[in-house]
Every structure is written in C-alpha cells, then in structure tokens.
Amino acid sequence: MSNPTDRKIAMIGGGGVRTPLVIFGINEAAEALGAREMVLYDPDQERLKVIAALGRAVVAKEGGSLIIRETASVEDAVEGADFVLNSVRVGGIASRAADELAAIKHGYPGQETTGPAGAAMALRTVPVALDHARVVERLAPGAWIVNFTNPAGLITQAISTHTKARVVGICDTPTELLHRITLALDARHDEVVCDYVGLNHLGWVRRIRLRGEDVTDRVLDDDSILSQLYTAPLFDFAMIRTLRLIPTEYLFFYYSRRRALENQKRQGSSRGTEVEQLNHELFATLKDRLGADDGEGAVAAYAAYLNRRSGSYMKLEASAGSAFDKDAPFDEDPFRVASGYHRIALDVMTALCGDKPARIIVNTRNDGAVPNLPDDDIVETPCQISRDSIIPEPLEPLPDEVHGLVQSVKSYERAAIRSAMNTDRLTARMAFLIHPAIGEWEPSDPLLHDLLDRCIHC
C-alpha cells in the first residue's frame, strides 16, 4: 500500500444510493485510514454528479478534509488506488424491479439476490465485475477490492476464481444479526462471541457465548429474545428450535417461499419496485435542494430516505407491508447506526491497514476453514483480519441440516458464473435447475426469456 497518509480510495458504482453513507464513514475514519481522496466512477454521469455533490455536502456538514472527486473513467478512478470499493448494479434499479416482478409472475418470490431474480442479477453482473477487476489487476495490483456488489458471494467467487485481484466480499446481514443478538442479551459487543457459518445470504449462527458462557440454549428457548432478532416476523420459533440454528433473514426465501410469494402478490408489488419509487423521489428532491445550494437540506432528505427504506425492510415479504405505510418507524440517525455496509467496509479496511486488527465476518476463500467445502470456495465466515491479511477461522463441519443446501447453492454459483462468462443459455438453464429455490427444468426457459432478454450480455 502507498504512504499511509496519502491513500486513494476508489468506488466503482459511485452513483449508488449507498455511496454517501460510505463517504460519511471514510471521512469519519480518514485519519485512521490515511485517506486523502475518494474517487467515484459510475457510467451514469448525471446520477454520479448528484451523489458526488451530496457526498461533499456530507463532508462539509461533518467537517473533515476528505476530497470527493467524480470521474467518467474507471481507469482514472482505479489507478493507484489502495482500496477499490465495488458496488455496481448493472441495469440499475429498474432491472431489479423488473426481475422481481418476472419471478413473481412465474410463481417464485421476487428477491434481488436469491431465486430467479438473483440468478438474473448474477448473469448480468459477472462479466462487468470481471472487467472491473481486470482494470484493478492492471492499474492497482496491490489494491484490495472490497466487493459490495450483489449477489456478493457469487461475484466475489467470480473475481477470486478468474482474476488475480485481491478481493474480499462484505455484507451487513451477519453483523446485523449479531448486533441484534447482543442487544437482546442486553450486553456489550465485546461480551458476545457468535459462531457463524454459511455463504452470503445463506448463513446461520450456531453458537452464542456471553462473557465466555455458552448461552445458545437460553437464546433458542426464549421467545422474547428470538422476537428481537429480525426487523419483521420471519421465522416460526419452533422451526428455529428444531433446526438449532439461527438463520439470517435471507433464509426466509428458502424456508418460507410460499409465504413470501403470497405476501408479494397480496401487496401487488415487490421490494425492488418500492425502492425504485423511493429512489426517483429522492433524486428529484436532491436535485432541487443541491440546485438551491442547500447542502444540509439535501443531507436531511437523504437521511429520511434511508430511514424509510431501512424501516420497511422485509416487511413486504413477511406481512405484505409497505415502505409507504404511515405507521412505520423512521427516526434513527442512519449515519451513526452500529451496523450497516459503511460500518463493515470501514472495519475491514481499517483492519487491512494494520492499525486495528479485528474479527469480522466476510466473504473470502475457504482455505480449509469449513471442512465440507473446497479451499477455493468463497464462504461467509468469521476471519482474523490484520495488515494485508484475511485468515478464516477453522470451523466445525457444516451441520447435516444445512450441508446439502450450502452444497447446492455453491454448485448453482459455479454454473451461473460459467453461464455468465460464455453466455450459454443451456448452462443458464442448468444453473436454474440446480438452484434449490428454483429447481425445475421446464419453467427455466420462459423465466430466462422474461429475465435475460433485457440483459445486454445474453
């Protein structure tokens, strides 16, 4: 890495709505990171201009010296960077909304990272993510790619397998679950240690220790604790107790597929369509306020948007709720929450700089950590992260209750990556067949017609 007081951080997909949160975090931790400049790249230059202006308003409001610069060239963004944050959505939010509605039309829950919509997202995104990773290989060979791009585990797998770039995948789902467990136990974060195992959006907590004492049974047997672990009522507590594992929220789209689909049909919508509407309203407001030189007003509007979005998370799928329900709570400070993408990204980068080693759940090469899986599989697992080093902790074998599901999803990921790289429709149909949340041959052809014919890579 370059001089620790002069680090450059690039963000590919810098026009995304999460970018100002990341800017806030990097500005806050600029001294620890040695960060001088953050360069944003996005193919949508109009959108990028708005987000960069909002990012500068965030820095001005909070104080700090972080320079925010936008660029029309991915090469300019990446060259000489120490960290490259990768957060792209090929086709934009409109593609997510269309994918989810197509899945619902064909009788599957519509969710951006799992099932048919997640497969479409993967097929659309892998070629672009690999192109970007190869730019990093060429222009910033010592940089770490911190991958936010969904489906995060699959995209990290593609980059790890098919390039020489150093990559780590991040997601706030496991850390959010751990945070909620800690709150439910009325404990400090340094008092709770959880054993976690799985893949991105397919993970489970299987052991909880509070101040060194195993309290797993206490948590599993207490309805009041279990009820605090999710933003919406997702899982039957009897199922959790029988499984003896605490699933992350995305297992809802495996364990309760019919319920998710029924609620989406009842609402007549999907999360993606609601987020698309929220985004349109946000950008209209941002343009007005930034155009009037009202940076603080733009930041306040952005914070309200984040609260409405996070406050309604999973409610549509769990109970046919909506982001537009008037009684939903939207009163947190989204910049200073204890978890979130910007927090885990900062924790990972700070640890990789060597100033603050940490135990963090990330997506990385297995390297023997999970005995049931090959070394080169990307898994989501607790790791010891220190200067330029990510070492997964050794784990017990996958429990029988989830072993088959994890193996099936990894097989699907490999097939999806192959299909995305060679644009072969039959391989894509095989990936759909293997996927345990799809698992049928005949529907795969009309699904692909509705999903991939919009994809420029297919």
309 annotated as ligand-binding: no
Backbone angles phi, psi at 357, to 5 degrees: -55, 150
Cα 386–chain centre separation: 22
Q: Cβ distance 348 to 360 under 8 Å? A: yes
Collapsing DSSP to helix, strand or coil, 196 comes out as: strand
Task: Output the DSSP codes for 62-119.
Answer: H----EEEEES-HHHHHTT-SEEEE---TTHHHHHHHHHHHHHHTTS---SSSHHHHH
Q: Which of 250, 254, 302, 412 is catalytic?
A: 250
Contact predicate 38/111, CB 8 Å? no
Q: Is 171 marked within a binding site?
A: yes
Q: Choosing from 42, 82, 99, 172, which is the catalytic residue?
A: 172
Strand partners, 191: none
CA angle 108, 110, 111 (to 5 degrees): 125
Task: Identify whether 367 is a catalytic site residue.
Answer: no
Residue type, 310: S
CB atoms within 10 A of CB 160: 23
| Region at 186 (left for phi over 0; alpha for psi -120 to 50; beta for the rest) | left
Q: Identify whether 172 is a catalytic site residue.
A: yes
Strands 192-199 and 213-214: unpaired
Q: Which residues are annotated as part of the binding site for substrate?
A: 96, 150
| Active site residue ranges | 172, 250
Q: Which residues are annotated as part of the binding site for Mn(2+)?
A: 171, 201
